[in-house]
Amino acid sequence: MVIVPIEIRAEQLGKSFGDHVVLSEIDLTIHSGEIVCIVGASGSGKTVLLDTLVGLIAPDSGRVLAADHNADSDADGQPPLRDLTTITERELDLVRLHWAVVFQRNALFSGTVRENLALWLREHTKLDQAEIDRRARASLEAVALDVADVLDKDRDELSGGMAKRVAIARAIACDPLVMFYDEPTTGLDPMVGSAMHDLIWRTHVAPPPAQGEGFAFRDLGFVRPRRTPSAKRTTIIVTHDRDLLRRLRPRVIMLHESRVCYDGPYARFGEPDCPPAQAYLQFMPVLHEREIQ
């Protein structure tokens, strides 16, 4: 039997804001190489769950375990799992070195596209400027942007679709093992949204770089191993976009009334045994259209 390593596990996760319970007794396990979409009505806790999984929000109860790719794996290829609720901030930062997050509003900082793509590499690795520039250009090419046209544009000169692509390029420049997306097609027209579906899929299945032995990080005392074919990328997406589900056919996790009401393949999402999923699927296009407007 093939054992697929665990990337992230949530155990009995709970989170409230005042008297409002957002997450309650959430149990889920995400394995290496999976593509997972988290769905649910507005206010159902999707982004709170995502922020909790990446350690931006501390749960009130339960815990989040994440694979520590800085340590040796066991005989089954499983890296040790670290409890994000108990490790130090420095230890959490080391775990996050293998992740990238594409935020709903992109979170590009003021400055040029070049500066946005170079910052993480400059701050955390020992790559020289020439290699940083090479990686920045390669990442822009990977998201189908005209490098000569975009590289030195200011953030405020970018259209919504271009800004989203730059945010993804910034994420893949560090070749992460885990990609997190929060509403990646929000605010995009259907044509641009369709191109974004393709980009997310290509990023998920992209092979590791053909060259390089890894990133030598500043002051951390280790070299991050280059992603290998056996270390598959994991993708976790919060979305309202039914077309994205239809095209990617991911594992779907639906939140309803603070709990997981469906966790399974897209092919079975909306079957009669889960009435909330049936109702949500009918309403999904309306929710997505509201966000575009």
Higher-scoring residue by pLDDT: 245, 192: 245
Higher-scoring residue by pLDDT: 33, 273: 33
CA distance linking residue 203 with residue 235, whole number of Å? 9
Instruction: Convert the pLDDT of each residue in 263-285 to its tens digit.
Output: 999 999 988 778 888 888 877 66
Instruction: Convert the pLDDT of each residue in 75-123 to its tens digit.
Output: 998 999 999 999 999 899 889 988 999 988 888 988 999 999 999 888 8
Per-domain residue ranges of the chain: 6-98+176-292, 108-175
At residue 202, what is the residue type?
Answer: R
pLDDT of residue 250: 97
Q: What number is the average pLDDT over the span 146-159?
A: 93
Whether the full predicted model's pTM is greater than 0.85, yes or no, is yes
Q: Other CB atoms closer than 10 Å to residue 198's CB: what's the count?
A: 12
Which of 125, 93, 80 lies closest to 224 in space, CA to CA?
125
Percent of the chain, pLDDT > 90?
A: 54
Residue 292's Cα: distance from chain center in Å? 21
pLDDT of residue 30: 98
- In CATH, the number for domain 6-98+176-292 is 3.40.50.300
